[in-house]
Amino acid sequence: MTGPDSEPLRIVLTIHHDLDLNTGAPGSTLQLGNALRRQGHQVSVVGFDNLPIHLDPRLNQLTFPIYASAQAGRLLSRGQVDVVDASTGDLWLLPRIAITKARGIVVTRSHGLEHLVHLQQIDAAKRGELKLRRRYFVYHGGIRLNQVARSLRIADISVYLNAPERQWAIDNLRVRPDRSAVAANGVAPELVGLPLSDANADPRIAILGGFAWRKGAETAAAVLSEVLKRMPRLEASWLGAEPAEVARALDPAVRDRVRVLPQYQLVDLPSLLRKHEILLFLSRAEGFGKVVIESMACGVVPVASDIPGPGDILKGKDAGILVPVGDVGAAVDAVNYLVEHPVERQQMRQRGHRLAQSYTWEAVAEGRVALYRRLLSDKRPKKLRA
């Protein structure tokens, strides 16, 4: 283990996905790793890319915890790592006694608590909004939830993206309050410090993300259809979704005014959002809502669901408008207000742009290192602290 607080830490980050900077949880993990490296630490990021045998992505989900737990256990037992910071479920196979005896620490971080998404999906299925197959309850709605819960309980500390998720884990998963914390995500360095463009008379509307129930895609499509029918001069972009899925959900009368890109690179986001000033972010569940701050960094005002994550970012900031989950009418009214009040919209753009500058990965990494060092100090034998 390293000695004084000034010495670099040896850190392993794990994530049960392909390592792609342009995606949600993997992108956040890679950004955290890059920021930690810039601060002088030795960082390895382990994902599906590191598996010795590459299988179907669904099978990778099953085999990755075996691989990650074995690698982490070996490094910890040999004293070759100071920190293993793993996404939920990655290290559920590690014995708690191995973590307790290790001189390094184990962190379990949540990118959005899966138990809460599961409960929402159950409610939606009961209302007929979502159909869940039987196999869902075998793994994702059963085995997987138990693995996630165990990984949170056995870690030296579990880290959540918002306070309600942390409290739910404490109340329902037997997570200890003194072994849990909250930490935000950041804005990609490429999006920090961008100039704020002048306002447009006819602002374009943007939606970022795949066409998924959790992301509120049906609600967003309904809102976009209604707004574009009311205002024929407006246009919109849907970035990150399959064109066929978006076309099926939109009113046929407005489809030709919605540009759809199935994939995009994060570095291209500022140019893709040029002339866009309104974001529809109508997710049903989020850990944080990184898209909200990324869009604000590009000068876009979010109309977002009032849920943990986006709500934490926007409440009291007057940099966007929060609406009830699934409320098409409220979201339509919010977009109409922003379109019809250019002065207020520009003021929100300016406030949001300033707010986004404070969400840097450098600050996130500094907070994470402070947490690591505190845990290492607490775990270190007293004779080594003298």
Average pLDDT across each block of 10 residues of the chain; the chain has 386 residues. List them in order: 72 97 95 98 97 85 96 97 98 96 97 95 92 92 97 98 97 97 95 93 96 95 98 97 97 98 95 97 94 97 97 95 97 98 97 96 97 92 44
28 and 170 part of one domain: yes
* Residue with tokens 């207020």, as numbered in its chain: 344
Task: Note the pLDDT of residue 385.
Answer: 39
52 and 77 part of one domain: yes
Task: Note the pLDDT of residue 186.
Answer: 96
Q: Give CA 275 to chain center in angstroms.
A: 25
- Whole domain around residue 323: which residue ranges? 190-356
128 and 264 part of one domain: no
In a domain, 2, yes or no: no
Number of domains in the chain: 2
In a domain, 1, yes or no: no
88 and 160 part of one domain: yes
Query: Residue 144 and residue 110: Cα distance in Å, rounded?
Result: 14
137 and 207 part of one domain: no
In a domain, 72, yes or no: yes
47 and 153 part of one domain: yes
Task: Note the pLDDT of residue 381.
Answer: 63
Task: Note the pLDDT of residue 90.
Answer: 98
In a domain, 3, yes or no: no
In a domain, 5, yes or no: no
In a domain, 231, yes or no: yes
22 and 122 part of one domain: yes
175 and 224 part of one domain: no
In a domain, 268, yes or no: yes
- The CATH number covering residue 218 comes to 3.40.50.2000
For the residues of 24-54, what is the DSSP string, one character each? SHHHHHHHHHHHHHHTT-EEEEESGGG-SS-
182 and 147 part of one domain: yes
In a domain, 108, yes or no: yes
306 and 368 part of one domain: no
194 and 182 part of one domain: no
Mapped onto helix, strand or coil, the DSSP state of residue 279 is: strand
Query: Residue 363 and residue 369: Cα distance in Å, rounded?
Result: 10
pTM here? Answer: 0.93
231 and 165 part of one domain: no
